[in-house]
A and B are shown apart, each in its own frame.
Chain A
Amino acid sequence: MKNEYIPHPAVIESIQTESFDTRTFKLVFEDKTLAESFNYKPGQFVQVSLLGVGEAPISITSSPSDRGFVELTIRAAGKLTRAIHQVKQGDRIYIRGPYGNSFPVDEVAGKDLYFIAGGIGLPPLRSVIKSVFDRRGDFGKIKILYGAKTPNELCFKEEIKVWKQIDNTEVLLTVDEPDDRWQGNIGVVTKLWDKMDLAVPNGTDMVLPNGVAYVCGPPIMIKFVIEKLLTSGFKDEDIYITLERYMKCGIGKCGHCNIADMFVCIDGPVFTYDHLKKFPDKEGAMT
């Protein structure tokens, strides 16, 4: 029987600063076999730890086609993540997983894809965005809507410039609190809706989108984005949301991430809206 609680050492190959509180860590497992064989799907997460500090679930931000390394984008938010921000290139960090279900990729071939992220919500979606760009031709148009509080807090700033150059792909950015240099959109991510060629709510010539939406962000953003998606004609089962929860084990044992009869760690973290809306309100799936 495998001991799922034992993490594997990985060395930090490089650290990329995304914003004042967010960094992307590129990790290589010390065990060469594991480094080469480590497979995962976009949307899955790993349990990350520092010995003597603690462990937390972090979604994988690299794409499954990135071989030999794993990337995690981590915001310094709690005890462990703040400690992780103190580690240096060449230091060890401990990983176990991957855990959880994933976003659909093969299943949505031929469709238009809408990615809507807020703040630290883009890193989990980047894994699926990169997977989709690996085979760009298999999908229709791609729209990425990304909002953050300030320009500084937008992740993957350089990479987004590259995404904007990709065929039939549009990236729309917005910030709540612009600085002097910001010339783009201002306001919450739903403010970008006018710039999408989606159906006008209550319009007479409403065309249902042939698309699926991937959503990740703070609960309040998720709530408003879903409202917009529904008015634009998205079906409940075509809206994919990845949830954050406090987790201790990642394998459906510790109980912390339970929602109704499910565990976010094994039955999620990706749920369709069709699924989420069936949970009783008090389960807090949408809050």
Chain B
Amino acid sequence: MNEWMIKKDNVKGLCIKASKQWETYLPLKSIGGDTHFIKLDGSNSEFLDDKLNLEYESLVVPPKFILFPQLESLFRFEGEKIIETVEPVAGKLLFGLRACDVKALNFIDDFFKRNFEDIYYLNRSRDKLLVIVGCKHLLENCFCTSAKTGPFLENGFDLQLVDVGDKYVVEVGSGKGEEFVDTYRDFFTEASKSDLERSKTAKCDAEQAISLKLDFEKAIKRFCEDKVPQQLYERIAQRCIYCGGCLYVCPTCTCFNVFDEPPFLLSKTGTGANLGGRYRNWDACVFEGYTREASGHNPRSEKWIRTSRRYEHKLKYDYLTTGMSGCVGCGRCLSSCPVNIGISQVIEEVAKI
């Protein structure tokens, strides 16, 4: 496959043009300085110059929310009539993803396909184009080089952009990516040999910039051998406030709760007293009520056991089931934790066992 390049000045135009065909999501700076993936539409495209931020450090909320929203309708009902709310398949362009987040999207794609297929997720995910813009910043909490999830990938993406100054070198990772470049050919030029050289150097530099190095493989091995002592989890349990924040912002967490909205709540909004719905929203395994049965019996009532589950799911069971760890090294759990606990610290400690 050819390698291409795109001038940074051209990215905005490309995204606006592509947004006519694709539901386009871009990293936009929002009030307060955080960057979020936001759908490009008429209301924000004119501010793109100010807001587009492909050099963001980390998205506070991982891109999973585009395919697996924090709250979504499973169906509505009017009286006893069920109205399906599955979204139709629509092409989604996710432009400016980090490598670790793409790894995570690949991971949850597999999960929602496994055994029973989850139509809500898969309809959103089916026709998507993943465009990586590789990280080049030094971040203190993330460790993709240890988790082998970045800062650049070998596969799993459609296009991968490498920052080489005033332009990006564009690597094509799939037929779909190639088709995209073909369609918007005006925005791309063929990469020169020197571009490719610069790209190689940029990738090396980015890799060097990731300062947090962990013995990830050894930690996984220790988890799989059941070598992690109960005391380690108990120590975390003394500190953890069980807010679940780390799991909401985890790019591979997919647990959800299901609840019904009784009809009378919606009657106020006007459309008929009989309208209600069934929804799902993100849930977290560290919550006490996560495993509590109607009888009151709770197989995971103890805090340290929930903590053990939280880490062993990612670093043992995901690995044993899929061959890939459920941690992609994004560092969000540490960045978001009110009491300064991160999976990186756990990995570091377990690797020493």
Contact = CB atoms under 8 A, between A and B. Distances in A.
B256 interface: yes
Interface residues of A, number: 44
B212 to A, nearest CB: 28
B46 interface: no
B61 interface: no
Interface in A53-102: 53-56, 77-81, 92
A205 B80 CA distance: 64
B56 interface: no
A235 interface: no
A9 B283 CA distance: 28
Interface residues of B, number: 51
Interface string B100-127: 0000000000011011111110110000
A interface, by DSSP: helix, strand, loop or mixed?
loop
B285 A251 contact: no
Given A244-B293, A254-B283, A287-B299, A51 B258 contact: no
Given A52-B261, A266-B116, A284-B305, A261 B255 contact: no
Interface in B140-174: none
B198 interface: no
Contacts of B180: none
Contacts of A4: 116-119
B118 A253 contact: yes
A246 B290 contact: yes
A255 B317 contact: no
A53 B260 contact: yes
A80 B300 CA distance: 22
Contacts of A49: 260, 278
B interface, by DSSP: helix, strand, loop or mixed?
mixed
Interface in A1-39: 1-7, 9
A282 interface: yes
A253 B254 contact: yes
B352 interface: no
Given A252-B116, A255-B285, A55 B297 contact: no
A226 B258 CA distance: 34
A1 B285 CA distance: 29
A51 B115 contact: no
A254 B281 CA distance: 10
A245 B255 contact: no
A26 B317 CA distance: 40
A258 B75 CA distance: 25
A245 B293 contact: yes
B86 interface: yes
Nearest to B285: A255
Contacts of A55: 258, 260, 278
A280 interface: yes
Nearest to B80: A92
A218 interface: yes
Interface string A260-287: 1100001000000000000010111101
A266 B115 contact: yes
A249 interface: yes
Contact of A255 (B117, B255, B278, B300): B255
Interface in B255-303: 255-263, 276, 278, 280, 283, 285, 290-295, 297, 299-300
3 cross-chain pairs, A with B, having the tightest CB-CB distances, nearest first? A78-B294, A284-B299, A255-B255
14 contacts: A3-B86, A4-B117, A5-B75, A5-B120, A9-B80, A49-B278, A51-B260, A54-B258, A55-B260, A78-B294, A252-B116, A253-B112, A254-B283, A258-B309
Interface of B: 74-75, 77, 80, 82, 84, 86, 111-112, 114-120, 122-123, 226, 230, 254-263, 276, 278, 280, 283, 285, 290-295, 297, 299-300, 305, 308-309, 313, 317, 320-321
Interface of A: 1-7, 9, 49, 51-56, 77-81, 92, 218-219, 244-246, 248-249, 251-256, 258, 260-261, 266, 280, 282-285, 287
